[in-house]
Amino acid sequence: MIRAILTVKGGVGKTTTAMNLAAGFAYAGRKTLLIDFDGQANLSNILLGDQLPEKTITDVMAGKAEIRECIMPTRVRNLDIVPSSIYLFAIERRMLQETAGIQQFKLRRALKSLKEYDEIVIDNNPSLNMCSTNALCACDEVIIPTIADKGSEDGITLTLEHCKEILEQIEGVYFDYKILITMLQRNNTDRNYCERIHNMYGDEHVFKSRIRFQAKPVKDAGFQSGILIDNQKANVAQDYRDLIEEVMEG
């Protein structure tokens, strides 16, 4: 299964979701590949630390490397990563200008040979561009994180409009979507937001699991290059463990 974590809105826990979902799959014994498809390379920095990759997803998208040449192991058993670099932003612009070949299927073609992985998770930049189009054309499911604010709600709308355009205009592409509510706080505004999202999109398109707001454990995991779900005390870590279980149950 290939899952893309995508939304046009930043600051909603997208990278945290991608990393912990992938780690959860790996802990469950599923051979998992995490693709850092964001030029900010936050996932790469957290999971690889001081290791400098020779080749990244940028080289794959530029046609300068096969994806197998870019795969690196992480300290988590069963979890590998294809790292990113800031030059991915430049390659994305070049792809928009390129007319030869089908640019939106580059990632899909690259992943086709990776039969050994049970799960592939793609973390994306918070924008809708040629890279996000590649991720959508390659995936089976899109997970859209959201928080309780107007900008994030608009982000769902814009992301789904982009998804609809791809499904209607690009032949041979099919994926489902599911919305994940993150950074949830105990107040009426957030509770009303959850109810509105469920009413708008239906229970089949919204995860039952909700990720509570708890800043310190998330920041600590990032600063310590750790995996949040390893924290046995934090509520937010338990929320992500519940999400992982819900995703694996289908």
User: What is the separation, in whole angstroms, between the first and last Cα of the chain?
Assistant: 11
Q: Is 18 exposed, middle or buried (0-12, 13-18, 19+ CB in 10 A)?
A: buried
d(CA 78, CA 32): 6
DSSP per-residue letters across 7-27? -SSSSSSHHHHHHHHHHHHHH
User: Quick one: pLDDT at residue 98?
Assistant: 65
Considering only CA atoms, give the Rg of the chain. Answer: 17
Average pLDDT per 10 consecutive residues for the chain, totaling 250 residues: 93 93 96 95 87 90 93 94 90 66 85 94 91 94 94 93 93 95 92 94 95 88 81 93 94
Give the relative orientation of helices 88-97 and 130-138 as an angle to the nearest 10 degrees.
Answer: 90
Strands 2-5 and 141-146: parallel
Overall number of domains in the chain: 1
SS3 54: coil
Distances (CA, A) of 221 to 153, 228, 242: 27, 5, 18
CB neighbours (10 Å) of residue 146?
25
pLDDT of residue 236: 94
Write down the number of H helices and E strands in the chain: 10, 7
Q: Token digits for 189?
A: 């505004």
140 lies in which domain range? Answer: 2-248
Torsion of the alpha carbons at 115, 131, 183 and 76, rounded to the nearest 10: 30
Per-residue confidence (pLDDT) for residue 221, from 0 to 100: 81
Spatial separation of the C-alpha atoms in residues 47 and 25, rounded to whole Å = 16
Paired residues of 2 in beta bridges:
120
Rounded to 5°, the CA angle 158-134-132 comes to 35
Q: How far apart are CA 16 and CA 86, in angstroms?
A: 19
Continuous segment of H or E residues that includes residue 34: strand 32-37
Separation CA 131–CA 173 (nearest Å): 15
**CATH value at residue 18:** 3.40.50.300
Q: Kindly state the helix (H) or strand (E) to which residue 90 belongs, with its residue range.
A: helix 88-97
